[in-house]
Amino acid sequence: MSLNNSNRLLAFPKAGKWLIVGACIAAITAAVWGYRIYNDVFNGNVKKTGMLYIPSGAGFQQVVDSIRHHDFMKNISTFQWVAGHKNYPGNIKSGAYMIKEGWSNDKVIDLLRSGMQTPVRVTFNNIRFREDLAARLAYYLEPDSSAFSIALNDDKIASDLGFTHESFPMLIIPNTYEMYWNTSPVKFIERMKWEYDHFWNESRKKKAADLELTPLQIVTIASILQEETNKNDEKSRMAGVYINRVKKGWLLQADPTIKYAMGNFQIKRVLKEYLSVDSPYNTYKNAGLPPGPINFPDVASVEAVLNAEHHSYMYFCAKEDFSGYHNFAQSLAEHNRNAARYQNALNKSGIMK
């Protein structure tokens, strides 16, 4: 004799109840865990917006330690759990990544796995020596100053790009650039070559040719101008003086080249005894321009030379009011009078060196 469905429930009432209860509990548990997993993966976990830096060769623990150190996450454990399930520990890519408040673990990990870095802004200006530039770059980018210094002084790198050790500074044009944080020194130099090629377009090359000067000569004069004055409105006039002297074959007699030759730009007063320093950059001894720039001149200084004034001035001297401007002269006698006034002003101010 067989039992129908109703009779089966009546025959096993307790077993049927527990099956139903168990199924309900399992369903509720699954729903709770599903909700938690959903929250762990897709709900916001980033507490604040900021840049996360992942060094080259970093492991997953370093990433976690950095996130913890900067207090980016509400719950670091859920980040680790989601990262593991998305195989991020095996796909770490170095770089700088901007993560934003309210982002989920899923969104953060997708960004980090993709390697889509956030560019950083690299600014450098008023740079004199390569070591100064190396230190500035190391402030913004991952490689240290030593790595940048080695590359900036590597004559093979310079030669491969068509420059000598002396002309190499003309490749570097001070400005603000967007770069990836883990840009290597070689990649930085390659980027500068790209910028250099675009800067020296046909228009600027023509202006240089019209002045009967090469781009190297233009940048070299610009580097001297940059040390002579911070008054952009008189740089073109000053450039005209240097060009006049070059074309006449005169000694340039530029004080900044003496400071460069002595390795000391802090000198306030170029004394007569300094003028005998043995260096190809000493323009009191060597006719014409020095072999290369004495710093990394900015765009304003280069443009001032390219747009140099046409005049008959052959001399200039700092004004005795210490305004930063200069007196210009056509004759040596006039220049000597200007120089005497400035020397007297230095003496009265007690500036001896």
* pLDDT of res. 73: 94
Q: Is the pLDDT of residue 32 over 50?
A: no
* pLDDT of res. 268: 81
- Radius of gyration over every alpha carbon of the chain, rounded to an integer in angstroms: 34
Q: Is the pLDDT of residue 1 over 50?
A: no
**Could you say which architecture CATH assigns to the domain 50-114?**
2-Layer Sandwich (3.30)
Q: Is the pLDDT of residue 30 over 80?
A: no
| Residues 222, 212: Cα–Cα separation, whole Å | 15
In this structure, are residues 269 and 346 in contact, taking their beta carbons and an 8 Å threshold? yes
Region 339-343: mean pLDDT is 91
* pLDDT of res. 347: 85
| Residues 181, 122: Cα–Cα separation, whole Å | 9
* pLDDT of res. 353: 58
The dihedrals phi and psi of 121, each to the nearest 5 degrees, come to -90, 120
Q: Is the pLDDT of residue 165 over 70?
A: yes
3-state DSSP helix/strand/coil percent for the chain, to nearest 5? Answer: 55, 10, 35
| Residues 318, 297: Cα–Cα separation, whole Å | 20
Least confident of 23-27, 34-38, 54-58, 230-234: 34-38
- Please report, for the chain, the start and end positions of each structural domain, with discontinuous segments joined by +: 50-114, 120-199, 202-349
* pLDDT of res. 17: 62
Q: Give pTM, 2 decimals.
A: 0.85
* pLDDT of res. 270: 83
Average pLDDT, the chain: 90
